Amino acid sequence: MQRTASVEAVTAAGGAGVSDVMYRVEERMSGLLDGYGHLLAAHAQATISAGGKRLRPLLVCLASGVPVHESDQLVSSAVAVELVHAATLVHDDVLDGASLRRGRPTVVAAGGRLLATATGDLLFSRAFAELAENGSIEAVRALSRAASGLAAGELMQRADAWDASVSLERYLERCRLKTAVLFRGACELGAFSGGAPARSLGQFGEAIGLAFQLLDDILDVTGPPERTGKPRGADLLDGTVTLPLIVGRGRDRRLAELELRSLRSAEQAADVCDAITATGALEVARDRALAVVARAKETLPLLPAEQRSALELVADGVVERYS
């Protein structure tokens, strides 16, 4: 039997407390940008309300304990993490010139680069304002560490773009920075609101964040586009080298000799995706993601059974998407 570890399922497993907090997170985010000008608020709001999985706020909740005890500190922590995530998405879309995200026009497509850059900056500063309102200085420390990592990861991705010889180690470090540090931050912030050890929950968060990114990179090769919201091989066309290609180029000489810049069309990118798939590289990448999740679950600290189950469900969920 296949478990579907969607956010809804985990929310249900986490009991009424989780859905109460998640509801307050949504409410808080939608009221948050009032007073920042109609235009800005509209775009920032559209970004936030476009939704997404709310996986990071959910992790904040579950890391704080199950059943979740609603508190202003917890809600603010969850909101702050999601706002940093949203800010990153808005800036990433500026850099990529992306026109759609989650089926809606991106801020950069709807309002231009200027508006999108300012919107991202505003979301970013509101994240810290929100945390400072109800959080502790150690929470600010954790979130700013995560935010620095995200910026460094974004940069690393740009620095390594088009370089097909990028090493596995460097790829994993990039995943850690661009994705895993914020999952770590989410778990740390949750732990601060609850009573669990922040350090080990943070490590758990970092591991499942890495697995999340590994799976994202697999989905870029497998699609289907109607689930991922982007054409297969979009990373390849962006010059972003990920694990499937790293493994594939060790197994197929044509892939090893591939010049990414020569790819011009979605069709060509899809052909490369097929070649990567044929090498068995996706299984290697998926096995690694599963191993990371398994190890993450093993290293969970001593927690109440309900909390452990809910966190394990999220961990399984990040590698079971679309499978």
Judged by CB under 8 A, does residue 152 bind its own copies? yes
Q: Is 45 a binder of its own copies (CB under 8 A)?
A: no
279 binds its own copies, rule: CB under 8 A: no
Contact between 44 and 119 under an 8 Å Cβ cutoff? The reply is: yes
- DSSP of 248-299: HHTT-HHHHT--GGG--SHHHHHHHHHHHHHTTHHHHHHHHHHHHHHHHHHT
- Contact between 306 and its own copies by CB under 8 A: the answer reads no
The least distance separating its own copies from the CB of residue 40, rounded to whole angstroms, comes to 5
State which of residues 28, 67, 128, 306 lies at the interface with its own copies (CB under 8 A).
128
Q: Which residues pair with 105 in a beta bridge?
A: 100
Q: What span, in angstroms and rounded, lies between the C-alpha atoms of 289 and 116?
A: 33
Q: How far apart are CB 298 and its own copies at their closest, in Å?
A: 29
Confirm if 22 and 54 have CB atoms less than 8 A apart: yes
In whole angstroms, the minimum distance from the beta carbon of 212 to its own copies comes to 21
- Which one of residues 99, 148, 299, 323 is an interface residue with its own copies (CB under 8 A)? 148
For 2, other C-beta atoms within 10 Å of its C-beta total 6
Which residues contact residue 271 at a Cβ distance below 8 angstroms, ignoring those fewer than 6 apart? none
Interface residue with its own copies, options 54, 56, 85, 91 (CB under 8 A): 91
Measured from the CB of residue 296, what is the shortest distance to its own copies in angstroms?
A: 25
Instruction: Give the C-alpha separation, 68 to 307, whole Å.
Output: 9
> 13 or 41, CB closer to its own copies?
41
Interaction site with its own copies (CB under 8 A)? 36-37, 39-40, 91, 94-95, 113-115, 117-122, 124-126, 128-129, 131-133, 135-138, 140-141, 143-145, 147-148, 150-152, 154-156, 158-159
